[in-house]
Amino acid sequence: MKRLSVSFFGAVCAVVAATPASMASERYAERPPVMVSPDLSAPWVMQLGQQPTMVRPLKRAQQAEQKRKLRAIEAPAQIQVQPDRIRTAAVPKPQKRVVARPQINPVYLPQEVAYDGPQKPGTIVIDTTENFLYLVGDNGKARRYGVGTGKPGFEWAGTHKVSQKREWPDWYPPAEMIAREKAKGRYLPAHLAGGIENPLGARALYLGSTLYRIHGTNQPWTIGGAVSSGCIRMRNEDVVDLYERVPVGTTVVVM
C-alpha cells in the first residue's frame, strides 16, 4: 500500500512536470483591468463594469428631471417686464383728492316770504338769532337770504347805512384780528387782494364807519351758522344779487 501511494504521487509530479511552461506563465500573468464607468457619480456597484451601458441613460433621465424642476422654480424670476409696465400694473394712478363739504340747508337759499315788520321797503333787516337777512319789499313781502353771523363774543346790534360798495374787495385784517389769530398759531396777511381765495368773496357792502360789512365768502358751507368776527356773511351768488338791488345809503338794521 505504501508503495502504491508513492507511485501515485510520483505520477502526479510527472504530469505537473510535463505541463508546458507557457501554461504556467498564463496562470500567474496579471489579470485584465476592471472597466470602471466614466460616470463616477453612478452607484459604485455599477462602476464595476456590470452593464455599464445602462448607467448613462439612467443618469441622463435623472439630470433631465432635475433640470425640469429647476426651470419650473426659476421661471417667475426669469420673466422680463418693462419697468413702465410694472408701474402701470402695480401702482395705480393717484386719484385727485376730493374734500366733501357739507351742503347748505335749503332753508337758507333765497326765497320770497311774508313780512309784517315796521321797516319800510328797501330796508335791509338782519336777524342774527335765526341767521336770515331780509330785503323788505312792497305789499308785505320780503326777499330772504341765509347768512352767517358773529360767533359767540362777536355779536352786535345797531342801525347803519351802506357807506360804500366794492366788487371783489381787498381784505385788510384789523390789527386786533391779526394778533388774536397769531395767538392761536394762525398767521394772517396784512393785505390780501380780491379774488376767489379772498374771504370777503365777490362783493362787499360796508356799514357806516364801522369795520363791519355784508360780504360774500369762499366758505359757503358756513352759511346759517355763527361763524364770523361780526361781519354778515353771504354766499357769493346771493351777495351779488343783493348788491344789484340796493344802493349806497340803504338802511341796515341788525337785530
Q: Kindly list the catalytic residues.
A: 215, 231
Instruction: Provide the 10 A C-beta neighbour count for residue 204.
Output: 24
d(Cα 234, Cα 200) in Å, to the nearest integer? 9
d(Cα 143, Cα 159) in Å, to the nearest integer? 19
Confirm if 250 and 123 have CB atoms less than 8 A apart: yes
- Ramachandran angles phi, psi of 126, nearest 5°: -115, 120
- Conformation bin of residue 232: beta by default, left when phi > 0, alpha when psi is -120 to 50: beta
- What are the residues whose beta carbons fall under 8 Å from the beta carbon of 247, sequence distance 6 or more? 162
Mapped onto helix, strand or coil, the DSSP state of residue 197 is: coil
121 is written with which cell numbers? 321797503
d(Cα 236, Cα 220) in Å, to the nearest integer? 8
Place of cell 496562470: 27
The pairs formed by 177-180 with CB atoms below 8 angstroms and a separation of 24 or more are 177/229
| E-only strand ranges, 20-157 | 111-114, 124-127, 132-136, 141-146, 149-150
Which H or E run includes 163?
A: strand 158-167
